Copies of this chain bind each other. A is one copy, B any other.
Amino acid sequence: MKYSKATNYALHTMLYLCSVSSDKPVGVQQLAQKQGVSPSYLSKILTKLVKAELIESSSGANGGYRLKGRKEDISFLDIIHAVEGSASLFECCGSEDSRCVIQQVMLAAEEAMERHLENTKMIELVDTSSCD
């Protein structure tokens, strides 16, 4: 059980886009170079963020990606759900059987984590960002 590297790339990219905060889109090559990933792969991840309407893309020359919503509203959870999916981390008996006590405990624990991720917005980190 681990968060995928894709999530890491997505979070760092979003943090960077929030800190730039420009109207001009940023090319995927530039974003990829900063993190030492191949542009093709990063583009695949960013597509998920586009579908989640966190960012938007513009094609053609001088194209790239740029924030869609206000960066005050973007939480960690938004990004993680966009990349990892929003399914529950734990599934007990195949179906979503809510009678299982174990399932209930796990769900409550997961919600504790998600609350924390939802309350932390991207903008809070913009100034203090290291480890680009």
Contact = CB atoms under 8 A, between A and B. Distances in A.
Interface of A: 1-4, 7-8, 11-12, 15, 76, 84, 87, 89-93, 97, 99-103, 105-106, 108-110, 112-117, 120, 125, 128-131
24 contacts: A1-B4, A2-B89, A2-B90, A3-B90, A3-B106, A8-B102, A11-B102, A76-B105, A76-B106, A92-B131, A93-B131, A97-B131, A100-B131, A101-B128, A101-B131, A102-B131, A105-B117, A108-B116, A109-B113, A110-B113, A112-B112, A112-B113, A112-B115, A113-B113
By secondary structure, the A interface counts as helix
A64 to B, nearest CB: 22
